[in-house]
Amino acid sequence: MNMTELYKNEVAEILETLGENLDISESQYKEAVKSYQAVGEWLSCENSSLYPYKPNILPQGSFMLGTMTKPINDEDDIDIDLVCKIQNKPSHWTQKHLKEAIGDRLKEHSRYEKMLKEKGGGRRCWTIIYAEDSNFHMDILPSLADENLNIILNEKFFSTQNLDADKLAIRITDKEHIFYSIMTDRLFWIKSNPFGYAKWFFQKAIVSEKRIFSLRESIDPVRPYQKKKLPLQRVVQLLKRHRDIMFSSDDYNSENKPISIIITTLASRAYDKSENIVDAYINVINRMRGLIETKLNEKTGKYEKWISNPVNEEENFADKWVEEPQKEEYFYGWLDKLEKDIQSIRYGAGKGLQILNESLSKQYGNKAVQKTFAIYGEKNRLLRETGERKMAVGTGILGSTGKTVPNHNFEGIE
């Protein structure tokens, strides 16, 4: 193994530890799962008006993908995105009926009624705020699933390797939709496909071709806490934290910072199946810019940036960039900084651990990085005491590979 590989592996260990420090804790995870299970039970119990439609609460977004990062400030809420999926509906129900039926049932519970962020609900979701010691809130998206999805989710060992992602789509509610309160035909409701997206993401993320992707496993509402992450999951976490640190400055309007779905989509398309997180991270950053397309909008006759939804090519995740140019400006500004900052990792060999520490602290936040290096240092102390501590030659970075460093026994020192 050459010096570059030694250095790369030690930095990979540091970035993996940093990723673990960006994760929500296992206790926070279990508390969130316990809470949304309780909501699901309330919505689906026999005395619920929704009981005939078999409501089911399922995770979506970063909570489902394993790419969630905890807030920079411990006092800020953790955002848990959920889908409330029902089967069938009365023929006369519109989106409005479904949205209100779920909201009315939540309000019948004295605790949930008090915890609702808005008594009339948000644009698409019902938001329940868990204050006190929990510090998280749940966004519950009312949805209607067709029979395809219900069958797939009920098949415990069903493989979705060759499944058409469109069969996983759901219909959702949106107060601003033209047919919100008048259209009963579900085909005219907004289509969304968080589970199809999950299928696409995990097929991009899984490194080993021998591992068969299981949709049920990935969206299981009570699956175990995942401490060990796939390289792509870690890369997305690092990208999102880099964004959060950059746009926490008062110099920016944080509402226009790059959105997670664009970051996750570009990173997934750019990922080259590298198992070493350093290779994966550098390669993703180097390729992201080139994956943003420019297309002619036939309605306006103007060219616009295009980042397509991988499970709905007609949807452009960057569609807001035309209406709000600052979103595009901020995104490219963030890419510029990413490409500059990655050089501190790429060409950091020989500059020493302290320089790397200082650079990463600016990029990902002092608190998380200092904790990371403290854990890294403690691990190397234990390696030293057992005679297993080594130094990657030319880097000053200590770890489990390189030249053995003798332990100090401090004999003769008073």
Q: State the pLDDT at residue 297.
A: 82
Query: Is 373 part of a structural domain of the chain?
Result: yes
Q: How far apart are CA 76 and CA 200, in angstroms?
A: 31
Q: pLDDT of 383-400, one tens digit each?
A: 766 766 555 444 455 545
pLDDT score of 53 more than 90: yes
pLDDT score of 147 more than 60: yes
Q: State the pLDDT at residue 379.
A: 85
The domain that contains 120 carries what CATH number? Answer: 3.30.460.10
Average pLDDT over residues 270-281: 96
Q: State the pLDDT at residue 223.
A: 75
Q: State the pLDDT at residue 158.
A: 45
pLDDT score of 407 more than 50: no
Q: State the pLDDT at residue 209.
A: 62
Q: Same structural domain for residues 216 and 353?
A: no
Q: pTM surpassing 0.85?
A: yes
Q: How many domains does the chain have?
A: 2
Q: pLDDT of 61-79, one tens digit each?
A: 999 999 999 999 888 889 9
Q: pLDDT of 287-297, one tens digit each?
A: 999 999 999 88
Query: Is 249 part of a structural domain of the chain?
Result: no
pLDDT score of 403 more than 60: no
User: 250 or 2: whose pLDDT is higher?
Assistant: 250
Query: Is 320 part of a structural domain of the chain?
Result: no
Boundary residue ending a domain (167, 201, 224): 224
Which CA distances in Å does 346 have to 4, 21, 296, 349, 362? 10, 22, 37, 8, 16
Query: Is 311 part of a structural domain of the chain?
Result: no
User: 298 or 242: whose pLDDT is higher?
Assistant: 242
pLDDT score of 414 more than 90: no
Query: Is 108 part of a structural domain of the chain?
Result: yes
Q: Which domain holds residue 90?
A: 25-224
Query: Is 330 part of a structural domain of the chain?
Result: no
Q: pLDDT of 313-372, one tens digit each?
A: 889 999 999 999 999 999 999 999 999 999 988 887 777 788 999 999 999 999 999 999
Q: State the pLDDT at residue 166.
A: 81
Boundary residue ending a domain (224, 245, 275): 224
Mean pLDDT score of the chain, rounded to an integer? 87
Cα dihedral across residues 134, 135, 141, 147: positive or negative: negative
Lowest-confidence range among 43-52, 203-212, 302-311, 404-413?
Answer: 404-413
Query: Is 84 part of a structural domain of the chain?
Result: yes
Query: Is 13 part of a structural domain of the chain?
Result: no
Q: What percent of the chain has pLDDT over 70?
A: 84
Boundary residue ending a domain (205, 224, 243): 224
- Work out the pLDDT band at 268, boundaries 50, 70, 90: very high
